Every structure is written in C-alpha cells, then in structure tokens.
Structure 1
C-alpha cells in the first residue's frame, strides 16, 4: 500500500509521501493533548472515508508534537507530561521508548529526517535543541545557548538545515546545521508568540 500522510503539529500540515504502488491512502495523524486532567490521544483520520479513531497507545499522557518516519512507517511523538519521546508503528503497534528526559523538560517540537535516521526536538523546559539517532537512540544536545522556550522545529532534509521558533521574551526564528553549527537568526521582529513552523523544500519557503 502506498501511504501519504498529513501530519498535524500545532496546526501545521507538513506533507509526507512514501512508497510507489497502489493508489495512495490519505491519512491525517493528529496529536491531541486531551482535556485538563484527562489523557491525550493520537488520532488517525482516513481522508477517503473520514474514518476516525484513536490509536491504542498505553504509554501516553499528554502527546504534543508528532511526525512520521515515512521510510519505516513509524510515528514519533513527544509527551510533555511523561517527559518522553516515543515511537510506534503507523497502526499504533510496537510502542517503544526513544528517550526519557529529566524534569523540567518540555519537549514541544519534533522533526525527523528519515534519510539520515535522525530525530530533532526542542525542549522549552530546559531551553535546548537536541538530536537523537533513530537506530541507537543516542541523544546529543546541539544548541544550548540563547534559547528561551524553543517550540516548533522543522528539518530541511535536502540541505540538512534546521529551523525553529523561539517563543520566549524575545521571540525569533532561528536556523542551524544538523550539528548546531552555522546558527543564525532569521527573524527577530514582528513576532508575538511563534509556536509552529513548516517548510516547502521545493519552493525554498518557510511557513
């Protein structure tokens, strides 16, 4: 089955596609924080028949950011109440712990590069941008200075660049290479509370 995914992250719709055979199945995957005091969910919505259902994931409290590994058909998500990053198959099977973070971590942004097998996330609790290897789960902090509540993050998989928004007292949009080098501020004025970001790689545009 050829799967195409629309991943909804804080209202952003990055478009992912994989495979090459049958007509595509169009799917939206949605991270739902849940109501105060209740558990959150990850929903899967089929755009052909509007069939909607929550994935059966036991190790979940407050899922926040979500992305899809389009090569291996894995969902990755952050959980700000569990202080975790986890992954599972697209149907919710084989739930697996990727990283456990220390309080007061708040992993609110997530981006994947399926080709280099890397997971990138922002942590608004301890103000870092970090990288996790998909195979070994080895974690490396790549940016840890001059951050104040970093949130949405996106990976330019073509040019191996990261872009993220900073939601703190001096809101901004920044970029760096995958290893944190080449850091630069792209926007530092006219922002109020930037929360999410996505990229049109073909058009070389950020949204």
Structure 2
C-alpha cells in the first residue's frame, strides 16, 4: 500500500491524492511511501569442513575456535577468503491509519501546470473567475497584458472540471482548439489549456 503523509497535519493519504483529506493542503509534491518496505542486510557465515554446517559470524574478521555443531576445531583454520555472504531481506510493515474504502474517487482540486516553467496553480473545489481581476492570485494573470481582466470561469466540482470563456480579448483554447464564449467546456486529465499566451497542463486531483 502506498501513501503520502501530509506535512501540515500528519494525515496519511492514498498515494493518488494530491490534496490532504484532513486539512486540504497541497501534498502533490510530497514523496510517496510504501506500507511494506524491505530492509536488506548481509549474513556472514563459514561452512564447517567436517560436518558441513553453516556457522554464522558477525563479520568477515570474526574468528571461530570450534564448530558449535560438531565441536571440531578445523573451522578455526579457515581463512577470510572462506567467509560466505548472503543478502537477506526483512519485510517491515507499517499500519495505515486511514481506511481505504473512504476514498470514493471524487475530484478534490485542479492543478494547472505551466508549460513554460513547470510551476503549479492549485485550484480547490469551487467556482472561480480567472484573469487579472479574478479570484486566483498568480503572476501569470496579473503581470501580463494578454490575459483579460475577467478572462474565464473555472468550476471544480466533485464530479467534473469545466471552463467557460468570458468573451476574452485573446481567447481560450483547449488542446489548440478555440472555445466559444459563454459555453461550458469539460476539462480532463492531460488537456492543454491556453489562456491567451499562457499554456497549462490540466491535472485533476482525486
């Protein structure tokens, strides 16, 4: 089982979530951890030349006076070159605090990834005006003349993500196709959303 641990509240979340189910913080960039992890170590041993039993030792340099199985002292004359190595793995299990069946696949947020610099705009559930005078605070919209003051409306619900162009001056495109003003358009994972000269990859958080 894979999961992410929220760095704000410490809640464990399914690995495919990008916002915390407890505090709604952005956890998309946090590392994914695994419930079952393997701890590897090296086992050292010598094989008794008389009884052929494997005799464990702490390291390659440890000396053995006699075989604990047959009592013969022939094993003490074995050189370091005779030491055998075996890699062993121990499985460590960590209990997961969340219940997996509480995750129903609902949409929790929208991530817009700028294709120019890779920075992310996180838009939680709700209805937002996008633009220089909109509801989302970002330099991509404020400091540029190409994006209109009230360029478009994005709505994120539990079931879908949609956008409506607000009769913008420099238009809105989905995958290179211009959308008509005042018409609802559904966004899906992997779409490329263009607002004037700004291109974003659509990533839907569930």
Give the TM-score normalised by structure 1: 0.29
Higher strand fraction: Structure 1 or Structure 2? 1
Greater relative contact order (Cα < 8 A, sep 6+): 2
Greater fraction helix: 2
TM-score w.r.t. length of structure 2: 0.29
Q: Which has the larger radius of gyration?
A: 2
